[in-house]
Homo-oligomer: A and B are copies of this chain.
């Protein structure tokens, strides 16, 4: 089941540099693990923003919330979720 998710990051300026490096490293590792498992199907940077547009392919709403609320950057992000489904004119339905 597909969802578009937009994440805008707003890291506090006074975040401890070591803590900042740590949270970013964990975010990257976690994101790549989910990309390899196939649940984080697409991940793009928005030009000019510290933000991404992603597509998730998960088995349920509950699983999507589990993934998003476990993101190391979750406390520092504004998130928008848009449920998607197959478009009748799409020639590929694998995603």
Taking beta carbons and an 8 Å cutoff, which residues of A are in contact with B? Answer: 1-5, 12-13, 27-28, 31-32, 35-36, 42-50, 52-53, 55, 60-62, 64-65, 68-69, 75, 79-92, 95
Contacts and interface: CB of A to CB of B under 8 A. Distances in A.
Given A13-B75, A79-B49, A87-B52, A4 B44 contact: yes
A82 B4 CA distance: 13
B48 A87 contact: no
Given A2-B44, A3-B83, A45-B65, 6 more contacts: A27-B89, A32-B89, A43-B87, A44-B55, A53-B82, A81-B83
A32 B2 contact: no
Contacts of A31: 89
